[in-house]
Amino acid sequence: MSKKHPIISVIGSSGAGTSTVKHTFDQIFRREGVKAVSIEGDAFHRFNRKDMKTELDRRYAAGDFTFSHFSYEANELKQLENVFRQYGETGTGRTRHYVHDNDEAELYGVPPGEFTEWAPFEDGSDLLFYEGLHGAVVNDEVNLPQHADLKIGVVPVINLEWIQKIHRDKEKRGYTTEAVTDVILRRMHAYVHCIIPQFTQTDINFQRVPVVDTSNPLVARWIPTPDESLVVIRFKNPRGIDFSYLVSMIQGSWMSRANSIVIPGGKLDLAMQLILTPMIERLVLESKRA
C-alpha cells in the first residue's frame, strides 16, 4: 500500500453490480474534487475474442473443460500487479480498453473483441480506481491485495448471479438457456478457485440477496429488482465504523452481526455514499500529507 498514491480495487463482475458501484464512486470523486484514473479488469485479458475462442477449442480438444475468462491463466495478472506497484510507487502507469460491442468500437476506433493500444495514465491523479474480476488475487505468482489501500467486493448470491447471466446473454447475445448454462458450468471451477477466495481479502463486501424465490434460476422469468432484494454489507475490520449512525440514516437497516449491516436493496447507493465518502476523503488527505 502507498499512502502517497492510493489504490481502490473493486472486485466483481458487471452483472454483480460493479457498474452501479463505479457510478457511485464517480459521484463521490466529482463531489469531493478527487481526480481518479481508472482501469478495467477486461484490459488485462490475455487473449482477444478470436484468440480466446482458439484457446478454448485447443483446451477442449485436450480435455480441459474448465478454462474461462475467470481463470488466472486467461489474464495478465503479473502486468496488473506491475501497474498497481508502479502506481503506488510513482503515481504513473498505463492501461488499455477491451472493446465489447459496436458502440465501444465507434468510440475507440477498434473492432469489437479487440484491444486498444496501451496508453499512459493522465498526470496529477489523486488515486487509482480498479474495477474487475481479479483485483484481490493471491496465488503463487502475484499478491494484488498488498498493493491496494481499499478493497471492495461486490457479489450477489449465486442463484441471482446465474439469473443475471442467463438474462443478459439471452437478451444481448442471443444465446439459448442451454448455451448459457454450459458457460456457467465451464466457469464454475475457476469461479470457486479464482474468484471466491478474493472476497476474504476485501475490506468491505456488498452482497445482494433476493427475497423472492430464485430456487430454479434456469427458469426465472425476471431478474429480482432492488426492491425485491436486501444487501448484506460486511466489514473485515469494524473498528471505527459508526453502525448506529448508519442504521439511523438508512431506513429499514439493521445489524445482523458485529461486523455486518443489512439494508434494503434500494438503499445501496445511499449506503455506499455514507460508508465510502469518509474513507476516500481519508485516503486523499493522507496522500496529500505524504
Give yes or no for residue 14 having a pLDDT over 60.
no
* 284: confidence class by pLDDT, cuts 50, 70, 90: very high
In sequence order, which residues have a C-beta less than 8 Å from that of residue 93 and are 6 or more positions away? 37, 39, 83, 86, 87, 120, 121, 128
**Confidence band for 16, pLDDT divided at 50, 70 and 90:** low
Confidence at residue 171, expressed as pLDDT on a 0 to 100 scale: 82
Distance CA 286, CA 218 (A): 48
Of 78-92, 134-148, 169-183, 233-247, which gets the smallest average pLDDT? 169-183
Residue 80 has pLDDT above 70, yes or no: yes
Report pLDDT digits (tens) over 216-227.
998 888 999 999
| pLDDT recorded at residue 168 | 83
CA dist 184 to 106, 174, 232, Å? Answer: 30, 16, 24
Radius of gyration from C-alpha coordinates of the chain: 19
Q: Of the ranges 84-98, 169-183, 249-263, 275-289, which one carries the lowest mean pLDDT score?
A: 169-183
Q: In this model, does residue 245 exceed pLDDT 80?
A: yes
Q: Which burial class, exposed, middle or buried, applies to 123 when counting CB atoms under 10 A from its CB (0-12, 13-18, 19+)?
A: exposed
Query: Phi, psi at residue 206, to the nearest 5°?
Result: -115, 110
Burial of 70 (0-12, 13-18, 19+ CB in 10 A): buried
Provide CB contacts within 8 A for 249, sequence distance 6+.
270, 274
- The three three-digit cell numbers of residue 142, written as one number: 502475484
In the predicted model, is pLDDT for residue 196 greater than 90? yes
Q: Is the pLDDT of residue 151 over 70?
A: yes
- pLDDT for residue 20 is more than 60: yes
Least confident of 69-78, 108-117, 153-162, 168-177: 168-177
Is a pLDDT exceeding 80 seen at residue 2?
A: no
What integer pLDDT is reported at residue 3 of this predicted model? 77
On the 0-12 / 13-18 / 19+ scale of CB atoms within 10 A, 288 is: exposed
| pLDDT per residue as tens digits for the range 101-147 | 899 999 999 999 999 999 999 999 999 999 999 999 999 999 999 99
Q: For residue 160, give the C-alpha cell.
A: 441471482
Model pLDDT, residue 74: 97
Distances (CA, A) of 131 to 32, 176, 222, 279: 20, 29, 26, 17
| 169 has a pLDDT exceeding 70 | yes
**With 70 as the cut, is the pLDDT of residue 13 above it?**
no
pLDDT of residue 136: 98
Distance, CA of 232 to CA of 211 (rounded, Å): 12
What pLDDT score was predicted for residue 188?
94
| E strands, 25-144, in order | 36-40, 94-95, 119-120, 127-132
Task: Over range 29-46, report the average pLDDT.
Answer: 96
Q: What is the pTM of this model?
A: 0.93
Instruction: Tell me whether strands 94-95 and 7-11 are parallel, antiparallel or unpaired.
Output: unpaired
pLDDT of 15 higher than 60: no
Instruction: Give me the percent of the chain exceeding a pLDDT of 90.
Output: 82
Average pLDDT, the chain: 93
Element holding 261 (H helix, E strand): strand 260-264
Which domains does the chain possess? 7-285 (3.40.50.300)
Report how far residue 73's alpha carbon sits from residue 93's, in angstroms, rounded to the nearest whole number. 22
Distance CA 80, CA 71 (A): 15
Q: Backbone phi, then psi, for 264, in 5-degree steps?
A: -60, 145
